[in-house]
Amino acid sequence: MFSKSLLSFFGTIALLSSVANTAPSPVADVDWDAHQWMAPGPDDFRSPCPGLNALANHGFLPRDGRGLNASVVLDAALTVYNVQPEVLSLAVKLALLTSNDPSTFTLDDIKLHNTIESDASLSREDFAIGDNVHFNETIFSTLANSNPGFGFYDTTSAGQVQQIRLADSEARNPNITNTQKEIFFRSGASALYLGVMGDPETGKAPKEFVQVLFREERLPIAEGWHRSETPINSANQLSLTQLIIAASNWTSSGGCPVFTLTPSGLHF
Ligand code: HEM
Ligand SMILES: *[C@@H]1O[C@H](CO)[C@@H](O)[C@H](O)[C@H]1NC(C)=O
Ligand SMILES: *[C@@H]1O[C@H](CO)[C@@H](O)[C@H](O)[C@H]1NC(C)=O
Ligand SMILES: *[C@@H]1O[C@H](CO)[C@@H](O)[C@H](O)[C@H]1NC(C)=O
Ligand SMILES: *[C@@H]1O[C@H](CO)[C@@H](O)[C@H](O)[C@H]1NC(C)=O
């Protein structure tokens, strides 16, 4: 079944990197007051990623969204979210493919379709049929309204949300890309909102925190959020990702995984 090949394709990458990083990187103290949320200005770049946009809106990444490299992004993710570098190393390497510069990228670059950016997102429209960069409340309403009757989201609700979002994209987007690559990346992003806004071991995250991250691209400090004390690492992220995939009842829409390799669209 798909889970076996998923494990051999992406699981190996994640497992190898977790083996290579057994001791968690220490997290520095943060002067949160020195990092107030500010809306981006008209010339500032933002991305399809609520996690990175929030880092820029709080000045943990350059507020203009430019000149990013692997180390500034990995440092900011560790400092603010306690996400261990091993979790994001594949993402930052892929991000460099989206840029014309060999060692830096912008928050605008990473919207490049089918490098990291994919269809059936949780809060953005599909590339072929709309705006794949900016938050869209209609799209987000599936996640916002999930797990009714409870105050938190979890891996089961996250999987159900992905199933509904994928069905919507399959119904409306004739250009949909939905392969093993996408199910792994999309479920990894779901695991990140659960782990970063909630508990990376149980995968439960307060709804209010998740909604503030998506809707305002703001850290919900005023609402009581604090950085996870448990390091968010490859082991707990892979475990949440697999539970989410199982709960999403996923099937491929056909075709092989595609990686867009350059901003001009070279791919295979
Ligand atoms: C710092 C921790 C991070 C968190 C908490 C995070 C969280 C998320 C979440 C929840 C989504 C899903 C958005 C949606 O489906 O509407 C997402 C999407 C995305 N993220 Fe991140 N992310 C992080 C780091 C990164 C890094 C390091 C990169 C690349 C440099 C990246 C690039 C992207 C991109 C391109 C998307 C769009 C994928 C799509 O089309 O759905 N993210 N991220
Ligand atoms: C990444 O960017 C930071 C800030 O601009 C810079 O200090 C650092 O030297 C860069 N690192 C690499 C590896 O290029
Ligand atoms: C959609 O798919 C068609 C047929 O493969 C292709 O010609 C077209 O360029 C695609 N459009 C987008 C926006 O990807
Ligand atoms: C948001 O997505 C919906 C489809 O679900 C679409 O009809 C609407 O035009 C989008 N809104 C914006 C501002 O792009
Ligand atoms: C899961 O997917 C299969 C095959 O697409 C479908 O027959 C089944 O009804 C789905 N189950 C749920 C709970 O959605």
Whether 265 is covered by a domain: the verdict is: no
Whether 198 is covered by a domain: the verdict is: yes
Q: Which ligand is nearest to the CA of 174?
A: 3
Give the whole-angstrom CA distance, residue 177 versus residue 124.
15
Whether 256 is covered by a domain: the verdict is: no
Within 6 Å (CB) of ligand 3, which residues are found? 128, 175
Number of independent structural domains in the chain: 1
Whether 72 is covered by a domain: the verdict is: yes
* Residue identifier of the C-alpha nearest atom 12 of ligand 5: 249
* Residue identifier of the C-alpha nearest atom 5 of ligand 3: 175
Q: Which atom of ligand 2 is nearest to the CA of 103?
A: 14
Q: How far is the CA of 114 from the centre of ligand 1 (A)?
A: 13
Whether 268 is covered by a domain: the verdict is: no
Q: Which atom of ligand 1 is nearest to the CA of 196?
A: 5
Give the whole-angstrom CA distance, residue 97 versus residue 95.
5
> Over the stretch 47-64, which tens digit does the pLDDT of each residue have?
999 999 999 999 999 999
Question: What is residue 83's three-state secondary structure?
Answer: strand
pLDDT for 268 equals 84
Give the whole-angstrom CA distance, residue 21 versus residue 25.
9
DSSP state of 153: E
Q: Containing domain of residue 122, as a range? A: 4-248
For residue 167, pLDDT beyond 80: yes
Cβ neighbours of residue 12 closer than 8 Å, sequence gap 6 or more: none
Whether 126 is covered by a domain: the verdict is: yes
Whether 267 is covered by a domain: the verdict is: no
The pTM (predicted TM-score) of the whole model is: 0.94
Here the contacts of 19-25 (C-beta below 8 Å, separation 24 or greater) are 20/86, 21/84, 21/85, 21/86, 21/233, 21/234, 24/84, 24/231, 24/233, 25/78, 25/84, 25/85, 25/231
> Over the stretch 103-117, which tens digit does the pLDDT of each residue have?
999 999 999 999 999
Q: How far is the CA of 261 from the centre of ligand 3 (A)?
A: 18
Q: How far is the CA of 109 from the centre of ligand 5 (A)?
A: 36
* Residue identifier of the C-alpha nearest atom 4 of ligand 2: 72
Q: Which ligand is nearest to the CA of 68?
A: 2
Whether 188 is covered by a domain: the verdict is: yes
Q: How confident is the model at residue 10 (pLDDT cuts 50, 70, 90)?
A: low
CATH number of residue 160's parent domain:
1.10.489.10
